[in-house]
Amino acid sequence: MSELFVGKSIPRVDLEKVTGRAQFMNDIKLPRMLYGKILYSKRPHALIKSIDTSQAEKLRGVRAVLTGFNTPDVRVGFIGDQTPLKKDKVRQFRDEVAAVAAIDEETAEEALELIKVEYEDLPAIYDPFEAMKEDAPLIHEVDPRGKPRRNNILPLPWKLEAGDIEKGRAESAFVVKDTFHTTWVHQTCMGTSGCICEFDLNDNLIFRSVTNVPFGGKDRMDMFLRNIGIKGSTRVLTPYVGGSFGSKLDTDIYEFICALLAWETKCPVKILFSREEEFLASPPRQPTVSTVEQGCDKNGKLTFRKVDMILDNGAYTSWGATTPSVMMVTISSLYNVPNLSYQATCVYTNNIYAQAMRGYGNPQATWVIENSIDQLAEEAGIDPLEFRKINANKPFTETPMRLKITTCPMTECLDEVKTKLDWENKHGKQDGRGVGVAAFVHVGGGARVYRSDAQGIIMKVDDDGKLTIITGGTDQGQGSETIIRQMAAEATGLRPEDVSIFLGDTEVCPWDVGTHASRHAFITGHAILLAAKDVKRKILTLAARWMGTVIGKEIKRRARRNPDYVAPEIDFDVLADPDMLDLQEGEIFVKSDPENKDLRVPLPLILRPHTWWEPVRGKWSWPRLFTILPMKCSTGKGRGTCPAATPSEPMASRWKWTRRPAM
């Protein structure tokens, strides 16, 4: 069957964005809202001797001044190696030392200038190799559990071993070895980071966040609340987000600080980074130093590969330290290499700490592997494109990571590239400019990074025949709202313009692991397929009950109006069988006779009979179909939540539609 909407180009649904109506974090103002600002250490490694906030507290318009000394000593972050506000010492240029909430941004900034911090500078380490030396000063004296640390190496070893390196080395005709460096890269989202924290009267935190992992953010915030002794839980609301590129995976330190300020002041508090602050205080890509040794036999077939990688972890730990999990795929599975050793070590330094940034480590790994492949090809005297073909993965192989490759047209792809680049004539034959080739593999579509890779979808069809999709996902510009609409229309049999989406509220939306890791369209698509199957079945069952009645009435109406009208013969048994009916583009029809106009009924006529025939007794919302989707992807069970009935709004007549919670 050919698709009606999927695979076709439809306009983006971003009407609010092109008209300036989209509400980003920058645009949200709440009654009684205060503005939070953070004082950074601006020195890489120092003991805090004292913090004097007395002048700042006296400034008119200041509502709270927080430091590590008047806030709970609670650890946050991926492995809990920092507190929101630092008390004893600072370990990086951007360490948060104090925070202020005031009636406007200018007052908050003025207050920061009045805070006096006395430091005693310590020797700082900027190089991970220096940090690994025996006599290197310790960045962290104790681990998150309070046990003394002996060195600056993170207890997070990454290791993958397969085959026998020494055997591979012995079989090699050519071997190359080199060391490669990659540096920090900032996500530089056009919208800077920011959040609003607000406590309700039951001590629940309403957390307006730019996260693309709303339920992860909720989880981390809930734990933080518990740890500081607040009994409420967190509701995450996400507005439009001005880009992510990995920067919105983790819950950032400023967000915990914002919650502390909101708790202290009992007012909504907004922290919004300036552009300068965004560069200074948000975690970029993780730098790496990799030593690669690999060999091939005289025919160019890879014999072994050994990669030792050092990651500059910076002063604290976020998701950046887990990027070797993705690098591992590139290193083990981009080419067929039987004997493999990969080891990655994360090292604390006094540099800025890092987290996810586009590709989650893969750009670093690909850069390293592809450079080394070029070197080895040159050493072996083999054309670099041919060399890649010799080692390209083939279908039905298993890689050292035990990933099963089922389809893999890598060889064909390289051939195509060869033709299109005019490789024979251009490679190495021009002065000063030329062509090169590199290959790339990436995880995606549910990388099994988490225990569950689930995505919840709730579908709700109202009596107007419109479909509302409630999803736990987020959109940071990738276009998931458009593709959800395409997929849902295709799968249910409605039109894209009949589909509206509600997202961005953990109180209403079903659980979702997060919109990242190139998984969203794929996983959501599968959830939609399952939910749509259910919804469609329910609609067709209802249709089977009412089709005959609706069509019969229509025939009588026509006969009444036109005495010459010849009523068609109708097989009412067919109409009463859900298996004989189908729904497409918002109309129910008989499968065996789709062109017969007499037998096509718009969906609302099927869904509305009750509002005609029965007295309306507070049942306006019927029929409303709910499907809660236990979505699975390889790991089995997913989760869902109980749907909350939201009042249906009139549909506008043109492209619009994503509804976010009122901010």
Partner 1 sequence: MTQSIQFTVNGDLVQVDVQPHWTLLRVLRDVLELNGVKQGCGEGECGACTVLVNGAPINSCIYPILEAEGKEILTIEGLLGKDNSLHPLQQAFLKKAGVQCGFCTPGMIMSAKALLDANPNPSEDEIRHAIAGNMCRCTGYVQIVESIQHAAELKSKQSE
Q: Residues interacting with partner 1, by CB under 8 A? A: 11-24, 26-27, 187-192, 240-245, 274-275, 476-479, 655
Nearer to partner 1 among residue 168 and residue 246 (C-beta): 246
Nearer to partner 1 among residue 186 and residue 600 (C-beta): 186
Contact (Cβ atoms closer than 8 angstroms) between residue 651 and residue 463? no
Query: Tokens for 396?
Result: 């039905």
Query: Tokens for 156?
Result: 């997070």
Nearer to partner 1 among residue 137 and residue 477 (C-beta): 477
**69-92 burial string, b = 16+ CB within 10 Å, else e?**
eebeebebbbebbbbbbbeebbbb
Least CB distance from residue 262 to partner 1, whole Å?
22
Best CA proximity match to 513, nearest among 634, 371, 366, 406: 634
Nearer to partner 1 among residue 475 and residue 587 (C-beta): 475
CA distance 219 to 226: 11
Terminal Cα-to-Cα distance of the chain (whole angstroms)? 42
Nearer to partner 1 among residue 188 and residue 411 (C-beta): 188
Nearer to partner 1 among residue 29 and residue 429 (C-beta): 29
Least CB distance from residue 283 to partner 1, whole Å?
17
CA distance 223 to 80: 12
Least CB distance from residue 188 to partner 1, whole Å?
6
Kindly tell me the sign of the dihedral angle through the C-alpha atoms of 497, 528, 658, 644: positive
Least CB distance from residue 9 to partner 1, whole Å?
8
Nearer to partner 1 among residue 24 and residue 546 (C-beta): 24
Best CA proximity match to 156, nearest among 72, 79, 214: 79
| Local structure of residue 498 (DSSP, 8 states) | G
Least CB distance from residue 24 to partner 1, whole Å?
6
CA distance 218 to 44: 31
Least CB distance from residue 64 to partner 1, whole Å?
23
Query: Tokens for 354?
Result: 């890092």
Residue 318: CA atoms inside 13 Å, Cβ hemisphere, count?
Answer: 24
Sequence-separated (6 or more) residues with CB below 8 Å from residue 333: 393, 399, 400, 401, 403, 405, 441
Q: Residue 467 phi/psi, 5° resolution? A: -110, 130
Query: Tokens for 491?
Result: 């799968």
Nearer to partner 1 among residue 15 and residue 438 (C-beta): 15
Least CB distance from residue 195 to partner 1, whole Å?
16
Taking the CB of residue 107, how many other CB atoms lie within 10 A of it?
20
Task: Give CA torsion, residues 48, 54, 59, 63, to 10 deg.
Answer: 80
Least CB distance from residue 185 to partner 1, whole Å?
12
Nearer to partner 1 among residue 12 and residue 533 (C-beta): 12
Nearer to partner 1 among residue 20 and residue 146 (C-beta): 20
Least CB distance from residue 241 to partner 1, whole Å?
6
Taking the CB of residue 8, how many other CB atoms lie within 10 A of it?
10
Nearer to partner 1 among residue 180 and residue 184 (C-beta): 184
Nearer to partner 1 among residue 14 and residue 534 (C-beta): 14
Residues 511, 514, 520: CA angle, nearest 5 degrees: 105
Q: Which helix (H) or strand (E) holds 472?
A: none
CA distance 544 to 221: 49
Nearer to partner 1 among residue 13 and residue 390 (C-beta): 13
Query: Tokens for 418?
Result: 């060869």
CA distance 540 to 545: 9
Residue listed under structure tokens 């909350």: 644
| Local structure of residue 297 (DSSP, 8 states) | -
Strand partners, 158: 344
Best CA proximity match to 261, nearest among 36, 17, 53: 36
Nearer to partner 1 among residue 213 and residue 368 (C-beta): 213
Least CB distance from residue 248 to partner 1, whole Å?
11
Sequence-separated (6 or more) residues with CB below 8 Å from residue 144: 75, 79, 80, 81
Sequence-separated (6 or more) residues with CB below 8 Å from residue 284: 184, 185, 186, 187, 352, 354, 355, 357
Taking the CB of residue 429, how many other CB atoms lie within 10 A of it?
10
Least CB distance from residue 13 to partner 1, whole Å?
8
Contact (Cβ atoms closer than 8 angstroms) between residue 638 and residue 455? yes
Q: Which helix (H) or strand (E) holds 331?
A: helix 324-333
Least CB distance from residue 491 to partner 1, whole Å?
22
**Single-letter amino acid, residue 477:** G
Nearer to partner 1 among residue 448 and residue 656 (C-beta): 656
Least CB distance from residue 140 to partner 1, whole Å?
34
Q: Where are the alpha helices (DSSP H) in 139-192?
A: 165-170
Nearer to partner 1 among residue 194 and residue 384 (C-beta): 194
Least CB distance from residue 276 to partner 1, whole Å?
8
Least CB distance from residue 27 to partner 1, whole Å?
4
Least CB distance from residue 242 to partner 1, whole Å?
3
Least CB distance from residue 327 to partner 1, whole Å?
23
Nearer to partner 1 among residue 112 and residue 210 (C-beta): 210
Contact (Cβ atoms closer than 8 angstroms) between residue 359 and residue 324? no
Residues 554, 591, 625: CA angle, nearest 5 degrees: 75
